Amino acid sequence: MGRAGFDIVRSTNNLGGVDDFIPFEATVRAARAAGLSVGDYIDEVMNGTPGATQSTIDELSALGVFAAKPNTVLEIGPGSGRYLEKTLKECSPDRYEIYETAAPWADYLVDTFGVVAQPTAGSSLAPTPDGSIDLVQAHKVFNTVTFLCASRYFFEMARVARPGGRIVFDVMTETCLDPATVSAWATQGGAGHDSYPAAMPRRTCVDLFATLGCSLEASFLAPMGVASTEVLVFGKGA
């Protein structure tokens, strides 16, 4: 998968999931045989980007995202749990909700980390009450789904975040798409899968979240496929 330029890739079929591209049983077995956590195995072996997940977590830590000691965390599309695992090393929330469409991975995360798997149709966070989450995050999700799917999640993320909470996600913005990078995706990025890789205008995100009472606090680039994705950190106003 890494050689083809893919990261975690989600089907545009809302009932699908990362198990279509990262098979559960084979990946867990291979990670154990390599003596690595599942997340580190995906970074190092499958994606060929050692330390990529940790570098994102380190950036978020440096920005103070975990300093507030979030008591409730919600993650959209955790897949194999590589960001979830490292988030739990940075903070100890009383409740960690996940919305994951790939049932084998969702079950694995519940059994391994004690998180709460919420029922999901792939575009809503309906089971989570308004203003109840300290940290809402999604990693390598919104560059793998359609524009409308991502946009619907944006409204939901702002809804469930508590005043003073943080919203963190990455998108492939114009910052990530200079001509040389577009050429790399077109010639080296593999065949892709449906909407992957999907671009999202940075200004669209910033302006939309501003109307929802959330301001952009920081951003940085993270590795993805043959290039990068931009991680955006929003704070929800009190």
**Burial readout 195-209 (b: 16 or more C-beta within 10 A, e: otherwise):** bbbbbbebeebbeeb
The answer to whether 139 and 83 are in contact (CB under 8 A) is yes
The DSSP output letter for 175 is: G
Other C-beta atoms lying within 10 Å of the C-beta of residue 237: 12
Residue whose token pair is 């995706």: 185
CA dist 106 → 37, 98, 101, 115, 213 (Å): 16, 8, 7, 9, 31
- pLDDT for the residue numbered 59: 98
Q: Which residues pair with 214 in a beta bridge?
A: 236
Give backbone dihedrals phi and psi of 204, rounded to 5 degrees, phi first.
-60, -45
- pLDDT for the residue numbered 12: 35
- pLDDT for the residue numbered 193: 65
* Per-residue pLDDT in tens (0 to 9) along the chain, 238 residues: 344 344 444 433 333 333 446 788 888 888 888 888 888 888 888 877 788 899 999 999 999 999 989 999 999 999 999 999 999 999 999 999 999 999 999 999 999 999 999 999 888 999 999 999 999 999 999 999 999 999 999 999 999 999 999 999 999 999 999 999 999 999 988 766 668 899 999 999 999 999 999 999 999 999 998 999 999 999 999 8
CA angle 45, 47, 49 (to 5 degrees): 90
- pLDDT for the residue numbered 23: 82
For the whole model, what pTM was predicted?
0.88
